């Protein structure tokens, strides 16, 4: 199994500007998440949450400061190893026209379409953890069901869970959920967090829900690119 990096993550005085932005979008951000810990990130819209997450797999490069994964600066890691170790579920689920199986195995280093018999188990396991297996199983064509044009219409919550399952298939050391549970009801979300407990992945979770943040080891509060709170739910 591809898992080159362990999940410890540290931001040291990280700042970031988009090319034409006047003031920093992220200003001197520092925090640390130990292997297996869960960090909730909260803040108003536009406070910089998505931007911060995108710096980790180097979709954008920090303007200054250091981002360490497993104790080494992200710029030092081979990009492939870094990205193979990170499962980033974006705010808008990206599904393409094709089967659920293809959507789930997309980008997974260990899943090959020629060998789906063997790996369907892994896809199912990920789908179960992401609380989407039952929905898939209820479709007449199950994992062969097509999504997108002429396919089934998935609900917002089903799309989110499918995107989470896709990230889990790759067994990431760091799982990043950018507001990926906003459309889930409380019961489903609770079941999801329970299932993810066993993953031993470090998790960064952007959320608007205080209940979700309470379940994290620590909370990072952002306001206009500045950390205005950092600690356990009780500290804050």
- Residues in the site for ligand ATP, rule: CB under 6 A? 18, 21, 25, 43, 45-51, 91
Distances (CA, A) of 71 to 9, 18, 32, 184, 205: 7, 26, 11, 34, 21
Per the DSSP assignment, residues forming a β-bridge with 11 are: 31, 67
Closest contact distance (angstroms) between CB of 148 and ligand ATP is: 24
Toward ligand ATP, which CB reaches closer, 42 or 196?
42
Residue 113 and residue 103: Cα distance in Å, rounded? 11
Toward ligand ATP, which CB reaches closer, 44 or 144?
44
Closest contact distance (angstroms) between CB of 135 and ligand ATP is: 26
Toward ligand ATP, which CB reaches closer, 1 or 45?
45
Closest contact distance (angstroms) between CB of 114 and ligand ATP is: 38
Q: What is the dihedral of CA 219, 79, 103, 179, to 10 degrees?
A: 20
Closest contact distance (angstroms) between CB of 47 and ligand ATP is: 4
Toward ligand ATP, which CB reaches closer, 45 or 149?
45
Do residues 53 and 204 touch, judged by C-beta distance below 8 A?
yes
Other C-beta atoms closer than 10 Å to the C-beta of 20 total 5
Helix, strand, coil percentages for the chain (3-state, nearest 5):
30, 25, 40
Toward ligand ATP, which CB reaches closer, 126 or 206?
206
Closest contact distance (angstroms) between CB of 180 and ligand ATP is: 12
Do residues 144 and 101 touch, judged by C-beta distance below 8 A?
yes
């Amino acid at each position: 199994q591809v898992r080159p990096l362990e999940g410890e993550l540290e931001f040291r005085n990280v700042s970031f500007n988009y090319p034409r932005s006047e003031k920093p979008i992220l200003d001197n951000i520092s925090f640390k998440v130990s292997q297996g810990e869960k960090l909730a990130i909260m803040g108003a819209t536009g406070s910089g949450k998505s931007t911060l997450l995108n710096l980790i797999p180097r979709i954008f490069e920090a303007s200054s400061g250091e981002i360490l994964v497993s104790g080494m600066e992200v710029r030092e890691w081979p990009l492939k190893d870094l990205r193979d170790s990170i499962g980033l579920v974006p705010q808008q689920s990206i599904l393409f026209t094709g089967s659920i199986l293809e959507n789930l195995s997309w980008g997974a280093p260990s899943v090959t379409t020629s060998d789906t018999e063997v790996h369907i188990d892994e896809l199912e396991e990920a789908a179960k953890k992401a609380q989407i297996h039952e929905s898939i199983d209820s479709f007449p064509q199950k994992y062969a069901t097509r999504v997108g044009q002429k396919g089934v219409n998935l609900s917002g919550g089903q799309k989110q869970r499918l995107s989470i399952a896709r990230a889990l298939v790759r067994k990431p050391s760091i799982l990043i959920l950018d507001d990926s549970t906003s459309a889930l009801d409380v019961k489903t979300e609770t079941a999801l967090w329970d299932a993810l407990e066993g993953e031993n992945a470090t998790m960064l979770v952007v959320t608007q829900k205080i209940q979700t943040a309470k379940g994290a080891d620590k909370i990072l509060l952002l306001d206009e690119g500045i950390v205005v709170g950092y600690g356990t739910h009780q500290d804050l």
